[in-house]
Structure 1
Amino acid sequence: MPSNRRLGLFSATTLVVASMLGSGVFTTGGFLLQQLQSPWLVLLAWLIGGMLATCGALSYGALARRLPESGGEYFFLSRTVHPAAGTMAGWVSIVVGFAAPLAATALAFGEYLRDWFPRSSPQWLGSALLCGLALVHALRMQRGTHLHNLTVGVEVLLVITFSALALSSLPPGTTMRAPPPTAAAGEFAVGLLWVSFSYFGWNAAVYVAGEVRDAERNLPRALVIGTALVTVLYLALNVVFVFAAPWQLLAGSPEIGRVAAQALGGARWADVLTALIALILAASVSAMTVAGARVYARMAADRELPASFRLHAGVPRLAIAVQCGLALVLLWSASFQSLLTYVGFTLNLSSAATVAGLLRIRLREGRQLRIVGWPWVPLTFLFGILWMTWSAVVRQPVESLWGVFTLAAAWCLWRFARIARGG
């Protein structure tokens, strides 16, 4: 067994859970209520989002059994479609998949703690979180893994406890007073794209596949178990959020969790939920720090990046440092809401291309490549992604064009690198 395969099923699963339990679930609900104007449609969007994420996890699990190495979409697309597709996905993962969500999550962390630390801006609080966790993971992988596992276990227990208490405290008859669903299909698809931002992370374990023991068996299990658990937690949290107060009060609020807690239990509940959210956001930054740096390392191993980005003593220290630097730049120059559609649009296209690569090798290798739910699971995932992205192009063309520009820039980087190497 390779010495660098240090992560077991539990660690891989907690990586998935922590990557998904980020800032999105505590901010997206308010925007969804404003877009859909119905708590029931908001809950339906979270349910369908979880189903699509599960289909994606099952598809990626099949790829992980076939190609159990680190690198995520970059590695998969390089091997199943073309090196250009892999490099494009790698650059998308570096900038859109990790640096931007790291910045957004750290900014949300600072916003939630702003009242507790009035002398520090959200940007400074978020920067301290990014740098501190980068230092922990750069010094020693195993130490970071233990911290990460402990944090995720505590946060899941706290989310379950809060959800149970909050559900029992909901005003009687609130669900009956909710307005009926009226949103158009296109508006719902755009809302589903925002929900997908919160579910990103279901594929986190594949980025560290080369460090997972018995990867062919543990990776698919980690992806599916982690995704299913987070889907249940998301549904429970959002039932609390959307029914805690009149939906008009919650619509458009970026702090829907705190507003809902305030309505249910006053300032004490709001402070308790703020502490829980801060813990969850810290765990999410920890997970993305671990997973994102492995993309750099994989690209360096394939000579798409300098060799200094490779693993050294089992840890990609330079990759962690550069990733942290990119996230800091975005933290100080962008807002969470402005990234929502852009990140969702771009990453969904990358995930769809990866599943299309799975279909390609399945048709080539036949039943030798086992895929749970073949062919409906991967096709359902692809249909859902294409529906969401097309609706975004029609209704939010500016953000979608930025996504297309990012893909085009990634292709140019691959082409220039190939020319420089004399290819």
Structure 2
Amino acid sequence: MTANSPLQRVGQEKGIAMGSQELQRKLGFWAVLAIAVGTTVGSGIFVSVGEVAKAAGTPWLTVLAFVIGGLIVIPQMCVYAELSTAYPENGADYVYLKNAGSRPLAFLSGWASFWANDAPSLSIMALAIVSNLGFLTPIDPLLGKFIAAGLIIAFMLLHLRSVEGGAAFQTLITIAKIIPFTIVIGLGIFWFKAENFAAPTTTAIGATGSFMALLAGISATSWSYTGMASICYMTGEIKNPGKTMPRALIGSCLLVLVLYTLLALVISGLMPFDKLANSETPISDALTWIPALGSTAGIFVAITAMIVILGSLSSCVMYQPRLEYAMAKDNLFFKCFGHVHPKYNTPDVSIILQGALGIFFIFVSDLTSLLGYFTLVMCFKNTLTFGSIIWCRKRDDYKPLWRTPAFGLMTTLAIASSLILVASTFVWAPIPGLICAVIVIATGLPAYAFWAKRSRQLNALS
């Protein structure tokens, strides 16, 4: 049977087991949208408004940077939407690169994600929640680490026991994280000061004109808009992916764009722009300019941050193990990661082991900080994924249920915007980034050779 035969596509669409127990399609549109939005709206927005303001140099360019930054993501989501409807299965980038004809690249993308992104991200978010909790009450550092570990364990149990239950929680927590931002926007409109837009007093960092300042601002928004494609890791568990995936991917992008733009607008109008551009905590600082909040602004932001990061942590615990599950099903990773719980119908072992590794990183925080240098590898992986659609379209069996409009333009924009992020990441840490790329290749290729040989042996026996 071919990689995308009619029989297999029917099985993928309906969640029918193809020779072994498979995860079932239980997630509807609203749950998928909540996962996409919940993953994207994270702790980054609490600092990115100030970073964008510093880069852009004026209030209007700050707001415009968030608008364009969000619009730039739409072509990327269109590419993901097409690929996810062509291959409606779990695994995202791994699956798309594999079907584009490069199993080694597909494996390396999953290998890098598992060790340098997935588990470390759990520890970073759990510790960030504890850090905000420490703003409300003093916490012993060691106790804080155990609290962070407890958070990961709690979400492991939630998402291990039920996909529907996890999705319901994700929907509720996403609504809960948007409510405080809505309150900030509402209060910001009421206390908005137009004079803060009339007299900006800063110069864009590294920019010599409005156009270059705008580009710098757009670049600074990039990380705030990452996360929507997380739902592609769970495409194999989404009902009617041909309709749900495009709507959820593009819809989440538009929702986040509106939210971020309104936040940037009201924050720029609440406080003098020179203070905003030099603020490391822009939302918290902006709220101190609202008489109704005053000294309670810090408490409000700390509670909001905990809710926001809780939602992101829950989302990551839910979707990330699906990558290793997909690799294990192809016999390209530890076999145990492909296990499906007979009662709960979840990738239980993958969830447990990734959570355990995340807890390990909590107690080895210095190592976690070093893993940030693998960002260059992860950005380049995304660029390869956007390019993979060109090779996929050349396949005779490539039959997506949704196609990217203006394909040439959209694909070019997706690749170009991703390359810009690669370049900016390389400038941030060129030598460490290259060293990490070498580490991924040096460890990943031997691992791939081992599992590829094992996979061929298993296929020969079957």
User: If the length of structure 2 is used for normalisation, what is the TM-score?
Assistant: 0.82
Alignment partner of 1:286 is 2:314 = yes
Mark the CA change 1:163 to 1:402 in structure 2 (over 3 Å): closer, same or farther.
farther
Q: Compute the displacement of 1:253 (Å).
A: 4.7
Alignment partner of 1:56 is 2:76 = yes
3-state secondary structure, aligned to 2:407: coil
Conservation of the 8 A alpha-carbon contact between 1:72 and 1:207? yes
Aligned runs of 1:14-163 on 2, under 5 Å? 14-35=34-55, 37-121=57-141, 123-163=145-185
Residue by residue over 1:187-212, the C-alpha shift from the partner in whole angstroms, topping out at 9 and shown as x without a partner, is 97676555332222110111111110
CA distance in 2 between counterparts of 1:58 and 1:295 reads: 21
For residue 347 of structure 1, the aligned residue among 350, 358, 378 is: 378
For residue 387 of structure 2, the aligned residue among 338, 356, 361 is: 356
Mark the CA change 1:208 to 1:422 in structure 2 (over 3 Å): closer, same or farther.
closer
Residue by residue over 1:23-52, the C-alpha shift from the partner in whole angstroms, topping out at 9 and shown as x without a partner, is 111133344445555444443443333123
The percent of aligned pairs where both chains have the same amino acid is 22
Alignment partner of 1:261 is 2:275 = no
Q: Find the counterpart in structure 1 of residue 4 from structure 2.
A: none
User: If the length of structure 1 is used for normalisation, what is the TM-score?
Assistant: 0.89
Conservation of the 8 A alpha-carbon contact between 1:40 and 1:180? no
3-state secondary structure, aligned to 1:118: coil
The letter for the 2-side match of 1:282 is L
3-state secondary structure, aligned to 1:22: coil
Alignment partner of 1:5 is 2:25 = yes
3-state secondary structure, aligned to 2:111: helix
Worse overlay, 279-288 or 137-146? 137-146
Mark the CA change 1:334 to 1:56 in structure 2 (over 3 Å): closer, same or farther.
farther
Alignment partner of 1:299 is 2:327 = yes
Q: Find the counterpart in structure 2 of residue 330 from structure 1.
A: 361
The letter for the 2-side match of 1:197 is W
For residue 413 of structure 1, the aligned residue among 428, 447, 451 is: 447
Residue by residue over 1:282-304, the C-alpha shift from the partner in whole angstroms, topping out at 9 and shown as x without a partner, is 11111111110111111110111
CA distance in 2 between counterparts of 1:286 and 1:162 reads: 24
Q: Find the counterpart in structure 1 of residue 20 from structure 2.
A: none
Q: Which structure 2 residue ranges, 5 or more long, are not aligned?
A: 1-13, 17-23, 458-462
3-state secondary structure, aligned to 1:91: helix
3-state secondary structure, aligned to 1:375: helix
Alignment partner of 1:168 is 2:190 = yes
Residue by residue over 1:383-423, the C-alpha shift from the partner in whole angstroms, topping out at 9 and shown as x without a partner, is 11112322432453145325523542434432343356678
Q: Which structure 1 residue ranges, 5 or more long, are not aligned?
A: none
Aligned runs of 1:308-323 on 2, under 5 Å? 308-310=336-338, 311-313=340-342, 314-323=345-354
Mark the CA change 1:183 to 1:285 in structure 2 (over 3 Å): closer, same or farther.
same
Residue by residue over 1:331-377, the C-alpha shift from the partner in whole angstroms, topping out at 9 and shown as x without a partner, is 44448995797465333211111111101122445996522221111
Conservation of the 8 A alpha-carbon contact between 1:197 and 1:344? no
Aligned runs of 1:179-218 on 2, under 5 Å? 179=201, 182-184=204-206, 192=218, 195-218=221-244
Mark the CA change 1:27 to 1:111 in structure 2 (over 3 Å): closer, same or farther.
farther
Calculate the aligned-residue CA RMSD, in Å: 3.0
Mark the CA change 1:59 to 1:170 in structure 2 (over 3 Å): closer, same or farther.
same
Residue by residue over 1:233-286, the C-alpha shift from the partner in whole angstroms, topping out at 9 and shown as x without a partner, is 122223334443344544565433222223333122332232222111111111
The letter for the 2-side match of 1:387 is I
Q: Compute the displacement of 1:172 (Å).
A: 3.7
Conservation of the 8 A alpha-carbon contact between 2:120 and 2:368? no
Worse overlay, 354-363 or 205-214? 354-363
CA distance in 2 between counterparts of 1:280 and 1:367 reads: 38
CA distance in 2 between counterparts of 1:133 and 1:165 reads: 33
For residue 378 of structure 1, the aligned residue among 411, 424, 436 is: 411
Conservation of the 8 A alpha-carbon contact between 2:196 and 2:268? no
Larger radius of gyration: 2
Mark the CA change 1:356 to 1:102 in structure 2 (over 3 Å): closer, same or farther.
same
The letter for the 2-side match of 1:355 is F
Mark the CA change 1:162 to 1:333 in structure 2 (over 3 Å): closer, same or farther.
same
